[in-house]
Amino acid sequence: MSIKSLLEYARMPQDELIERILSKKEELDAVIFAHNYQRIEVQRIADFRGDSLELARKAKELDAKIILFCGVMFMAETAKILNPEKTVLIPDVQSGCPLAAHASADDVIAMKKKFPNYAVVSYINSSAEVKAVSDIICTSANSVKVVNSIPKERGIIFLPDKNLCHYTKTQTHRENIVCWDGNCYVHDRFTVEDLKDARGKHPKAKIIVHPEAPPDVQEDADFIASTGGMYRFAKEHRGEEIVLGTEVGMVERINDEFPDTSTFPMSEIALCSNMKLITLAKVARSLDEKIFEVVVPDEIAERAKIAIEKMLAL
């Protein structure tokens, strides 16, 4: 089989790329996952779209030889950890999550020494190595449930997102949580002024922000939700106006699936450039050449799996 350069794929018309992807997917017995922040044309060719928790759950119950993951690396790693026998592909290896890079396994081990007996709750936006030294994983959809599963008197180290930590602390009324000092460059940039501007422009709209947004923005919002929560809200409020304080891909998905709902971004420039690295051309190349295979060393995968499974069992 000839190895085509990415440029050759990029020059193909979109219809041809889509046709190629769909037939190759069948031939290989592959399924395509896409996170809500993916480019809309990538989301449209996916078998499943969703938030981090929904995609992790789906990966666990799946029956296919190959999972092609359109998202960032920690999501593809999670799918691989849950499916060691399957091939997991990511169309661009550069698609990492800068929030996940805020904590290394060594940092976590040092923190555990400082706070012995504390439970380590790691956001799914973390590396496989960090998951392997964590007690339990959480996502933005279940952080409150996960923290509530830990006895009230036990301290918690919560990493790496300080805003999700603030949200979880507020919702669980717990003071014994040490928040890591990490943030997401897309969500941490939202300001109260952005929110006020959006209210001025869309006075009838409900404003929903992601818990990775800063605390003052969370306080002024109507609701705080994961991207899956935002999707469900839109589905249940057809015909209404909604403003979303999250990455613009989420807005595109809702407007794509529910054209009768008017959904607007709180900021047009809330773009995760890491998510946007994945294009149809790279998806086609990924299936043709079976690249890039996600590999997690066994010893790390086995320990990380325990922490992820604990979350999924809740």
Q: Which residues bind ligand 13P (CB under 6 A)?
A: 36, 51-52, 125, 139-140, 184, 212, 226-227
Q: Give me the 14-43 binding string for ligand SF4, x by CB under 6 A, dash otherwise.
A: ------------------------------
Alpha carbons 52 and 82: distance in angstroms, whole number:
13
CB 17 within 8 A of CB 2: no
Residue type at 306 in one-letter notation: I
- 76 scored as a contact of ligand SF4 (CB under 6 A): no
Give the single-character DSSP code of 302: H
Give whichever of 149 and 191 is closer to ligand SF4, judged by the CB atom. Answer: 191
Q: Which pair of structure tokens corresponds to residue 243?
A: 């403003």
Query: 31, 45, 70, 72: which one contacts ligand SF4 (CB under 6 A)?
Result: 72
Please, which residues have CB within 8 angstroms of residue 89's CB and are 6 or more apart in sequence?
A: 30, 66, 67, 68, 69, 76, 286, 287, 290, 291, 292, 293, 294
Residue 134 interacts, among ligand 13P, ligand SF4, none and using kind-specific CB cut-offs from 5 to 8 Å, with none
- 97 scored as a contact of ligand SF4 (CB under 6 A): yes
Give the single-character DSSP code of 27: H
Give whichever of 209 and 287 is closer to ligand 13P, judged by the CB atom. Answer: 209
- 186 scored as a contact of ligand SF4 (CB under 6 A): yes
- 141 scored as a contact of ligand SF4 (CB under 6 A): no
Residue 274 interacts, among ligand 13P, ligand SF4, none and using kind-specific CB cut-offs from 5 to 8 Å, with ligand SF4
Residue 140 interacts, among ligand 13P, ligand SF4, none and using kind-specific CB cut-offs from 5 to 8 Å, with ligand 13P
Cis peptide bond prior to 264, omega within 30° of 0: no
Instruction: Report CA torsion sign: 36, 9, 290, 127.
Output: negative
Cβ at position 137, least distance to ligand SF4 in Å: 15
Torsion over CA of 115, 132, 48 and 43, rounded to 10 degrees?
80
Q: Which pair of structure tokens corresponds to residue 287?
A: 């299936």
Total of chain residues touching ligand SF4, rule CB under 6 A: 11
Q: Give me the 233-252 binding string for ligand SF4, x by CB under 6 A, dash otherwise.
A: --------------x-----
Q: Give me the 264-283 binding string for ligand SF4, x by CB under 6 A, dash otherwise.
A: --------x-xx--------
245's enclosing H/E stretch is strand 241-245
Give whichever of 95 and 172 is closer to ligand SF4, judged by the CB atom. Answer: 95
Residue among 130, 126, 80, 52 at smallest CA distance from 298:
80
Give whichever of 9 and 69 is closer to ligand SF4, judged by the CB atom. Answer: 69
Cβ at position 272, least distance to ligand 13P in Å: 7
Cβ at position 272, least distance to ligand SF4 in Å: 3
Please, which residues have CB within 8 angstroms of residue 101's CB and are 6 or more apart in sequence?
A: 127
Give whichever of 154 and 235 is closer to ligand 13P, judged by the CB atom. Answer: 235
Torsion angles phi and psi, residue 241, rounded to 5: -100, 140
Residues contributing to the site for ligand SF4 (CB under 6 A): 72, 97-99, 125, 184, 186, 247, 272, 274-275
